[in-house]
Chain A
């Protein structure tokens, strides 16, 4: 119990520290932009002589401070895109967002969202591809979501209809589960189904989040007949 509490504490600390970094970067971005904008507005209003001093001020206002603002706003923006409320800002994700935030929900997604290591970033932690290029590939995939939402018809789609049509483009990769559930510890190996299905799990022939195993992550998007088969340990 003490070990579990300590892990929860570490998870909360980790989440709070990343949130603080994101907020700090946002403040740096806003301050840099404010300084650059002040220099540029003063230049546009006063139109000072074109001497070395003016050129250096302009170098700060057009080069240095905007570069700091761009870099920090990019990092801050990328961090924001990993937060659950960002994913939930498109109306079609309302059901997913509310289920993950529901303390009473027993779906796989909600149970993981209650873990402080996932917390407010649970969508990203589970759906980000694992590996060296995982971050970049996930962000590139996110661009497709933006395209589909604004130009692919999802924006106009009612939520109930969306729940029926939403699907993953490719089967969910068990490697993402195995970032935490390494499958090497005694607790995992003592489950007979785990041992018998180890090869299938490793080769993605059987999904951890499937009916009969741990159940669907978002069961409300599945037909009732399929959900009744799903497990939920």
Chain B
């Protein structure tokens, strides 16, 4: 829960920019293995390149999740005064 709150506090744009930079790095590795098919480069592209690409997509999905949860905050994250407002109105 603490990790989730930390992520929520982080900027979604920052996370997306990080994902874009990671994806560019992964694409560069994959393209280089197509242009120069040397043993080490092909192995590197199929392992490290794919992991970096997967991490980039995971960061993007996380950014979308954080963005969605920000636009629909859960009830327990509301301010105490807002959360108690309905019960106060029922008080005779």
Contact = CB atoms under 8 A, between A and B. Distances in A.
Interface of A: 26, 29-30, 33, 36-37, 40-41, 43-44, 47, 50, 55, 58-59, 61-63, 66, 69-70, 73-74, 76-77, 80-81, 86, 89-90, 143, 145-146, 149-150
Interface residues of B, number: 32
Contact of A77 (B19, B34, B57, B64): B34
B67 A73 contact: no
Contact of B16 (A58, A81, A143): A58
Contacts of B13: 47, 50
Contact of A40 (B23, B31, B50): B23
Interface string B46-57: 100110010011
Per DSSP, are chain B's interface residues mostly helix, strand or loop, or mixed?
helix
Contacts, number: 90
B31 A30 contact: yes
Contact of B27 (A36, A50, A80, A81): A36
A26 B12 CA distance: 34
A145 B40 CA distance: 11
Nearest to A72: B34
A20 to B, nearest CB: 15
Interface string B1-26: 00000000000110011011101101
